[in-house]
């Protein structure tokens, strides 16, 4: 069973999902493919405004994320730069995947999420991204050059197109061998789905 | 504890919520105030398109509602007229509330939901609404006149404005003494919230 996991570093619910998905997959013998996307590119199809631009919705989302974090004991202390659009972490992840493989890319993504949402660090800052990469043993000069690599930029853009083609219109979004789950609030259902698939196998 | 419950008869997730909210309230010593609204009026603030107009989202919503109904053993067999905008059932509910009180209005609303989503009957059809009302002992001629009453139409419209003023931007939406819960998927959280409030009281 493969879980295609679509997420945006800018999304708090994606952070919740990113914390949980590897454990959920491991417990059910599934593997995760991480797909960084840009939510504003996906919401072209629904036309929904970014939540921070809708006062009543943003008040709700802020309350809801805090409440969920508290209920589930998830560290949640976002950077003061939150919310903002984030492009560099996604590109960085793709470059690391190309240069150093999947495990290094996922480790980088998880550290980015923790830095931004738990430790209050701004991951729009390339110096922060550089620090995270170097702590993984990645060469800093190559990493910074990679962030500006036109083929990486194109690949990140293309990822959004591929997500849309798969029917992904929001984040976090999981396709479990094609079965779609939208939202961190669908994770309990996803977990039951995986357990049932494992029993059936 | 009062639960202000905002719903649209046109929304499948509102149906799920309407089936559950009275039990959830009763089990926790809360009372429910039912507020019929028109989702397209609320989504003016988020600009999100109606889901049926976005093919990928509607495919997802269709799959998700069916899956949730199956998991929770909720009868789900919508009318062939679904999805569509529904104005008459909301107006009818408001007229019944004014003429016959809250209990009759809620009973009417629950029967409408069941007719449309479980029994496959089109509640846009005024003959169907008439039948539901008459089965409750309501005078048919007065009911049909009530549906066209300009003050009822105005009250339905005003309900959307009041919902927006309360920060409601989607359905189903519950305010539990002001604490906001958006979506049927927040009902487990709402249930835990009510239980905690009851323990604290």
Comparing CB atoms, the residue among A45, A49, A186 nearest residue B56 is A45
pLDDT, one tens digit per residue, over B56-85 is 999 999 999 999 999 999 999 999 999 999
Overall average pLDDT of the A40-55 stretch: 97
- A164 interfacial to chain B (CB closer than 8 Å): yes
Phi/psi of residue A4, nearest 5 degrees: -85, 115
Model pLDDT, residue B201? 83
pLDDT, one tens digit per residue, over A162-187 is 999 999 999 999 999 999 999 999 99
Comparing CB atoms, the residue among B47, B56, B185 nearest residue A167 is B56
Model pLDDT, residue B131? 98
Phi/psi of residue B34, nearest 5 degrees: -90, 125
CB contact under 8 A, B47 and A47: yes
Model pLDDT, residue A21? 98
Q: What class, spelled out in words, does domain A2-200 have in CATH?
A: alpha beta
Q: Which of B11, B14, B51, B79 is catalytic?
A: B11
Model pLDDT, residue A156? 98
Is residue A201 scored above 90 in pLDDT?
A: no
Model pLDDT, residue B135? 98
Nearest CA distance, B64 vs chain A (angstrom): 8
Give the residue on A whose Cα is nearest the Cα of B163: A56
Adjacent-strand bridge partners of B33: B4
Residues 49-108 of B with CB under 8 A from A: 49, 54, 56-57, 59-60, 63-64, 67-68, 71
> Would you give the distance in Å from CA A170 to the centre of its chain?
11
What does the mean pLDDT of chain A come to? 97
Model pLDDT, residue A141? 98
Adjacent-strand bridge partners of A7: A36
Residue with tokens 């600009």: B47
H-only helix segments in chain A: 12-27, 39-42, 55-71, 88-100, 102-117, 126-135, 140-147, 150-165, 187-200
Model pLDDT, residue B52? 97
pLDDT, one tens digit per residue, over B16-40 is 999 999 999 999 999 999 999 999 9
Angle at B72 between CA B68 and CA B74, to 5 degrees: 85
Model pLDDT, residue B103? 97
The verdict on whether A51 is a catalytic residue reads: no
Report the residue of A60, A71, A165 to disrupt the B interface, i.e. the one with the largest count of B CBs within 10 Å: A60
CB contact under 8 A, B182 and A59: no
Determine the Cα–Cα distance for residues A185 and A7; give it in Å rounded to an integer: 14
- B45 interfacial to chain A (CB closer than 8 Å): yes
pLDDT, one tens digit per residue, over B140-188 is 999 999 999 999 999 999 999 999 999 999 999 999 999 999 999 999 9
CB contact under 8 A, B60 and A185: no
> Would you give the distance in Å from CA B51 to the centre of its chain?
17
Model pLDDT, residue A32? 98
Comparing CB atoms, the residue among A47, A48, A167 nearest residue B60 is A167
Determine the Cα–Cα distance for residues A150 and A157; give it in Å rounded to an integer: 11
The sheet with strand B2-7 has its strands ordered as B31-36, B2-7, B173-176, B179-182
H-only helix segments in chain B: 12-27, 39-42, 55-71, 88-100, 102-117, 126-135, 140-147, 150-165, 187-200
Overall average pLDDT of the B36-58 stretch: 97
pLDDT, one tens digit per residue, over B86-112 is 999 999 999 999 999 999 999 999 999
E strand residue ranges, A12-165: 31-36
**Taking CB atoms and an 8 Å cutoff, what residues of chain B touch A71?**
189, 192
- Cβ atoms of B11 and B172 within 8 Å: the answer is yes
Written as six digits, the tokens of A93 are: 């992840």
Determine the Cα–Cα distance for residues B53 and A30; give it in Å rounded to an integer: 34
**Other residues' Cβ atoms within 10 Å of the Cβ of residue A70:** 10
Comparing CB atoms, the residue among B71, B164, B189 nearest residue A189 is B71
For the question of an ipTM over 0.85, the answer is: yes
Nearest CA distance, B176 vs chain A (angstrom): 13
Model pLDDT, residue A40? 97
Q: Could you tell me how many residues make up chain A?
A: 201
pLDDT, one tens digit per residue, over A127-164 is 999 999 999 999 999 999 999 999 999 999 999 999 99
Helix, coil or strand: residue A78: coil
């Amino acid at each position: 069973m493969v879980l295609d996991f679509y997420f945006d570093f800018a999304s708090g619910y994606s952070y919740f999902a990113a914390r949980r998905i590897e454990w959920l997959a491991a417990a059910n013998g599934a593997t995760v493919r991480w797909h960084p996307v840009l939510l504003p590119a996906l919401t072209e199809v629904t036309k929904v405004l970014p939540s921070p631009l809708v006062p009543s919705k943003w008040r709700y989302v802020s309350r809801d994320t805090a409440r969920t974090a508290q209920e589930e004991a998830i560290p949640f202390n976002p950077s003061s730069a939150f919310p903002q659009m984030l492009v560099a972490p996604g590109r960085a992840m793709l470059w690391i995947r190309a240069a150093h493989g999947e495990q290094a890319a996922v480790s980088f993504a998880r550290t980015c999420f923790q830095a931004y949402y738990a430790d209050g660090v701004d991951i729009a800052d390339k110096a922060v991204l550089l620090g995270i990469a170097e702590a993984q043993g990645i060469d800093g000069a190559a990493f910074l050059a990679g962030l500006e690599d036109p083929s990486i930029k194109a690949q990140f853009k293309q990822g959004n197109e591929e997500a849309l083609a798969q029917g992904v219109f929001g984040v976090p979004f999981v396709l479990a061998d094609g079965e779609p789950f939208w939202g961190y609030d669908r994770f309990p259902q996803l977990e039951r789905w995986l357990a049932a698939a494992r029993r059936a196998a």
